[in-house]
Amino acid sequence: MFLNSDYDPILCRSFSTFLDGAALLWFSNLPAGTISNFDEFAKFFINHFAASKIYVQDSDYLSTIKQGQHENLKDYMMRFTTAAMEISDLNPEVQLHVIKCGLRPGKFQEAIAVAKPKTLEEFRKKATGHIEVEKLREAWRSERPRKEDEKLN
């Protein structure tokens, strides 16, 4: 049907039956006589909705994700993992390399440099241990003021 231009009127008329929402509204508001053939109609449609195309990130995007100066490891890992899940066919070795490069300088980054995890699983095990240490330190910090308040009372 696409090879024979005699079917242009049928294609143009049947196309609208597959539309809904914003696309149907756009089609309904086209002035009469705007489209003369299906190829022109298809180009017009694509050009109008090109900005609506969903942008898919690639592995290069991951290199822009860095651990913030005051961001804990758990939040960084969650933010990085969320972005990584949106990338299809992401090579695990690339993911491991990029997540390590995004770590801020500090004890965990040094521990990773020494341990040299070869897989994401090894990295996650090290990270889990460090996250537990961060939680423990945070609990100690939040307890200290309470103990000082008790001494004053």
Query: 126 and 144 share a domain?
Result: yes
How confident is the model at residue 53, as a pLDDT? 62
Query: 90 and 127 share a domain?
Result: yes
Does pTM surpass 0.75?
no
Query: 86 and 114 share a domain?
Result: yes
How confident is the model at residue 32, as a pLDDT? 80
> For residues 48 and 42, what is the distance between their CA atoms, to the nearest angstrom?
10
Domain that holds residue 38: 5-52
Based on the structure, what is the number of domains in the chain? 2
Query: 36 and 74 share a domain?
Result: no
User: Which residue in 42, 77, 83 sits closest to 61, CA to CA?
Assistant: 83
- Give percent helix, percent strand, percent coil of the chain, each to the nearest 5: 70, 0, 30
Query: 19 and 46 share a domain?
Result: yes
The number of residues in the chain equals 153
Query: 64 and 121 share a domain?
Result: yes
How confident is the model at residue 96, as a pLDDT? 96
Query: 39 and 64 share a domain?
Result: no
Query: 74 and 48 share a domain?
Result: no
| Residue ranges of the chain with per-residue pLDDT less than 70 | 1-9, 11-13, 51-56, 145-153
Query: 71 and 131 share a domain?
Result: yes
How confident is the model at residue 23, as a pLDDT? 79
How confident is the model at residue 2, as a pLDDT? 46
Query: 104 and 145 share a domain?
Result: yes
Query: 106 and 146 share a domain?
Result: yes
How high does pLDDT run on average in the chain? 83
Query: 66 and 46 share a domain?
Result: no
